[in-house]
Structures are given as C-alpha cells and as structure tokens.
Amino acid sequence: MKIAIVTETFLPSTDGVVTRLTEAIKYARQQNHDVVVIAPDLGVTEFEGAIIEGVKATKLPFYRYRPFSLPNKIVKDLLNKHQPDLVHVVNPALLGVSGIKYAKELQFPLIASYHTHVPKYLDYYKLYPLKPLLWWYFKRLHNKAELNMCTSQAVKGELDRHGFRNVHVWKRGVAIDRYHPSHYNMEMRRRLSGGEPDKKLLVFVGRLAPEKEIHKLKPLLEQRNDVRLAIVGDGPVRDQLEQRFAGTNTIFTGFLHGEELSQAFASADAFIFPSVTETLGLVILEAMASGLPVIAAKSGPTMEQVDDERTGLLFENEDTSSLVHAVEKLEQRTLHEAMRENAREEAEKYSWTIPSQQIIEVYEQILGVTPIKKAQ
C-alpha cells in the first residue's frame, strides 16, 4: 500500500500531531508500506524510509512563531508523481486544503483527521465572532473525506454535533519505554526546582501559547511558597509568561528533547495541565508513563484520560481554590505513591503499536482490503 500524508505540521516541529504521525509512519514502514509526506518545507527530506516532499513555507502575520505552507497547486503535481493508493490529510486548514481538493480531483480515496481545536482557540485570540465561520469551514473540508478521525470521544461528540460526517476515534498512544520512572535524575530535579529539590515540583510540558492557559497557574505559586513550577517548552507567548511569572518560583527551560525530556517528566512530583482546549493532550500519557499523577483542569478529553484520585487530580477550570486543593492532596504520601503507580500502570495499556495498527486497518478498510468495521 502506498500512503500519501498531507499535513500542516511535521518534523522538525515537535507537537502531539507530529508525534502521532511519526509513530504511525514507523509502523507503516515496518509493515512494508510506502509513505510519502507532503508538508511545510523545513529541511527534512526523509524519515524512516518515508519520502518527505516539502512545500514552500512562510511565517504568517498573526502567528510568527513557526512557518506554515499555504494552499499550493504543487500538491497536485506531487500526488500525480507518487500515485498513492490513498491520501490522508491531517488537520486540513491551509496546505491541507490543497490535499483535499486534489485528492478529490484526482479521485484518490481520502480520509482526514482532526487534531487541533482551532475554533476554540479563537476565544484566546479575541476572534470569537469568527467561530461559526470556522466551524463551517472545517466541516466543509472534512465532509469531503470518506472517513474522519479525531483523538477523543469528547471531540467526536462535538464534531458530530457540528455536522461532521463519519467520525471515528483514533486511539491514543505513548512511548512507554522512552517515558518511564527510571529516568528520574536528581540533577535534573535540582535544575527544574531552582536548586530546591525538597520542594513540591510541578512540571508543564508543551507549546507556550495563549490557549494553553499557563497563566492560570500563577495564583497557585502566590499562595503556596513550597511549590516549584518548571515550564518546559517554547512558543509565541514565552516572553509574556516570563514577565508574568517573574518573582515566582518558576523555571523556564525552553525545549528539552530525548533523555533530558524523559528526565524532566520523571523527576517531578506531578504534571500540571491547565488547558481545556486540547483534543487529547498526548503529554498527559507521557507524564503518566513517567510515573507522574496528572493535575488537570476538567475538560472532556482530559477526563477521558485522568481518573480523579487514581491516576491524577482534577480541578475546576479557572478556580484557584480548586487547583490549590488538588495540589494539597500531593501531601498525602500514600495517595501520591498510589497515583504514581496507577498512572504508570494505566499508560502501559497504550503502546503506540495500537493506534498505529488501527490507522493502517482504517486505510485498508477504505481500500476494501478488509471489511469495514467501526473504528473505536
């Protein structure tokens, strides 16, 4: 089988979409499928034997943090060149528009997947009046596909309500060996805690953008002098966050990769996740695999992953007292240790092999290789 993936983001970018795609591609190549990735040209031309076809990228005025590729007729030429058995368009918005247009025009079987809750993001960029238009736009794009995938039951319900057709859940996964409690490192803990490793250490990992709602954590630090916060990542609002958190017990590390990232997870006491805009939040499973309880704001996708007082602690969104109360529960040593063990045990159920195998089965169903069955 020859698969063409048209995606708005790919290597060397690092986010949940890229992680999911690279794991699926590795699995597909192991199964001897050919893969072509059409993505913004950021200098990568090959991955695990898959061909990466770059499309000219540019930074947009409203989001200068990273470059995007705009709709481009070169996508038609690339699809004609490679003649895939099917086309999978990931997060169609800009470049993906061309993926959908030309896949339909050239009559290639088409699936699409929804990973980023862009309509919800508008609330954080003061563009909320445009939400109905954006929902219409994404529905129109996705409904050209024969099948749509999303990353949680909560998001599936929302897409169903907005009229997206034939939506299925693409199961979640995590690198259970890369993220493991054994990566605990005292020197990393000292680094993340500002030289105070005996204090409670919370870690956040992700893109530093308004929709991540990291600012909501400042009141916690103002109330609890025994808490240290490490913010791992980078993004368009890093400077603003560093100014906002100035004078608090907060460390900004920038991006960490490989062993350092594994150590950052495993060396903390808990993972903190304040966002309610995620379609899944793969970092939640990465934290759990590292043996961390997850302290998370309540949202549909988050509550699918975090079991309160078993694998983590849930708090009411924008309720500082609820957040403080959740953090206080870390002082219950027996509960804390039980949540650590339960989190790791839960994460072990979600090897990347499962969702990677699932998407290959979906491709085969679209092509009629195997009988159609509902993807859970």
Per-residue model confidence (pLDDT) at position 372: 45
% pLDDT > 90, the chain = 90
Per-residue model confidence (pLDDT) at position 370: 55
pLDDT tens digits, 212-262: 999 999 999 999 999 999 999 999 999 999 999 999 999 999 999 999 999
- 161 in the same domain as 34: yes
pLDDT at residue 350 above 50?
Answer: yes
Picking from 82, 112, 169, the residue whose alpha carbon sits closest to that of residue 354 is: 169
Looking at the 3D structure of the chain, how many domains does it have? 2
Picking from 13, 5, 8, 64, the residue whose alpha carbon sits closest to that of residue 37 is: 5
- 121 in the same domain as 40: yes
pLDDT tens digits, 98-152: 999 999 999 999 999 999 988 777 776 677 678 899 999 999 999 999 999 999 9
Picking from 91, 27, 90, the residue whose alpha carbon sits closest to that of residue 354 is: 27
Output the pTM of the full model.
Answer: 0.92
**Is the residue at 375 inside a domain?**
no
**Average pLDDT value for residue range 171-182:** 97
- 293 in the same domain as 159: no
Domain CATH for 238? 3.40.50.2000
Per-residue model confidence (pLDDT) at position 374: 42
pLDDT at residue 376 above 50?
Answer: no
pLDDT tens digits, 254-310: 999 999 999 999 999 999 999 998 988 899 999 999 999 999 999 999 999 999 999
- 251 in the same domain as 151: no
- 199 in the same domain as 266: yes
- 238 in the same domain as 272: yes
- 206 in the same domain as 166: no
- 222 in the same domain as 107: no
Whole domain around residue 303: which residue ranges?
Answer: 181-347
- 357 in the same domain as 229: no
pLDDT tens digits, 4-46: 999 999 999 989 999 999 999 999 999 999 999 999 999 999 9
pLDDT at residue 375 above 80?
Answer: no
- 130 in the same domain as 52: yes
- 199 in the same domain as 284: yes
